Amino acid sequence: QIQLVQSGPEVMKPGASVKVSCKASGYVFTTYGISWVRQAPGQGLEWMGWVSTYSDDSNYAQSFQGRITMTADTSTTTAYMELRSLTSDDTAVYYCARRGDLDYWGQGTLVTVSS
Amino acid sequence: DIQMTQSPSSLSASVGDRVTITCRASQAISNSLAWYQQKPGKVPKLLIYTISILQSGVPSRFSGSGSGTDFTLTISSLQPEDVATYYCQYYNTHPQVFGPGTKVEIK
């Protein structure tokens, strides 16, 4: 069965970086790109960006430009999202999801930014 | 960039009622419009893609329609398990964008 399994919760200090992983299984990894979406406590869904699993292409939301990097490792069928210069506003659940219409989602990774 | 709005922001309806949620794009968009359901504390779930195609396993009481700038999600007969927040999403281009969500409750 198709699964996206994300890394565990993180507690980070302001100014630090976090890297969340998303391990895909059950399908050919290079068929679809991976999107990342976050949800702050009590808030809606926010699209962060997309990474290709079959080329070096990626695309990020303007609000994250300059402090985000998304990568995909085809050898391990794992996508990564790194967010730098964290502030308390980055406290959220981070999701990876497959395809443009996000048909399969990871379970979410809670990132808490606190001093 | 395209912006998506939803109305209403919340609604309360009785079991068995027909419920309609509207999603409006800031400009005419292609058919790459999806709807998601997120139950409290759970991962969002794809309900409908390409405006009106029901994702596998989604009950037939859910349907989608629309074109241009105006789109709707309809629940033909609201059930207790439909309590959730519903989001529309435009995914044809980057940046992708979600609507702000509509919270559905049972009266």
- Give the 3-state DSSP-derived string for A47-93, with helices as H, strands as E and coil as C: EEEEECCCCCCEEECHHHCCCEEEEEECCCCEEEEEECCCCHHHCEE
Number of other residues whose CB lies within 10 A of the CB of residue A53: 21
Among the partner residues B32, B87, B95, nearest to A62 by beta-carbon distance: B95
Does the distance separating the beta carbons of B44 and A44 come in below 8 Å? no
Backbone angles phi, psi at B80, to 5 degrees: -55, -30
Among the partner residues B43, B85, B99, nearest to A95 by beta-carbon distance: B43
Does the distance separating the beta carbons of B44 and A102 come in below 8 Å? yes
Quote the CA–CA distance of A92 and A110 in Å, as a whole number.
6
Position A68 pLDDT exceeds 90: yes
Q: Name the residue in chain A with its Cα closest to that of B46.
A: A103
User: In this predicted structure, what is the pLDDT of residue B92?
Assistant: 87
State the average pLDDT for chain A.
97
Does the distance separating the beta carbons of B44 and A45 come in below 8 Å? yes
Specify the length of chain B in residues: 107
Position A3 pLDDT exceeds 90: yes
User: In this predicted structure, what is the pLDDT of residue A85?
Assistant: 98
**Residue listed under structure tokens 């859910």:** B62
Number of other residues whose CB lies within 10 A of the CB of residue B81: 10
User: In this predicted structure, what is the pLDDT of residue B55?
Assistant: 97
Q: Which residues of B touch A105 (CB under 8 A)?
A: 43-45
User: In this predicted structure, what is the pLDDT of residue B94?
Assistant: 81
User: In this predicted structure, what is the pLDDT of residue A100?
Assistant: 86
A37: which strand partners? A47, A95
Quote the CA–CA distance of B35 and A97 in Å, as a whole number.
14
Dihedral sign, Cα of residue A106, residue A38, residue B70, residue B22: positive
Does the distance separating the beta carbons of A45 and B98 come in below 8 Å? yes
Per-residue pLDDT of chain B (107 residues; tens, 9 = 90+): 899 999 999 999 999 999 999 999 999 998 999 999 999 999 999 999 999 999 999 999 999 999 999 999 999 999 999 999 999 999 988 889 999 999 999 99
Among the partner residues B49, B94, B99, nearest to A101 by beta-carbon distance: B49
Backbone angles phi, psi at B81, to 5 degrees: -75, -5
Pick the range with the lowest mean pLDDT from A36-50, A66-80, B87-101.
B87-101
Q: Is B47 on the interface with A (CB under 8 A)?
A: no
Residue type, A15: G
Q: Decide the pairing of beta strands A10-12 and A109-113.
A: parallel
User: In this predicted structure, what is the pLDDT of residue A10?
Assistant: 98
Percent of chain A with pLDDT over 90: 96
Among the partner residues B44, B85, B95, nearest to A105 by beta-carbon distance: B44
Q: Find the Cα–Cα–Cα–Cα dihedral B19, A101, A36, A51, rounded to 10°.
A: -170
User: In this predicted structure, what is the pLDDT of residue B93?
Assistant: 80
The pLDDT-based confidence of A86 (bands split at 50, 70, 90) is: very high
Q: Which two tokens stand for residue B98?
A: 């979600």
Q: Name the residue in chain B with its Cα closest to that of A106.
A: B43
Does the distance separating the beta carbons of A102 and B36 come in below 8 Å? yes
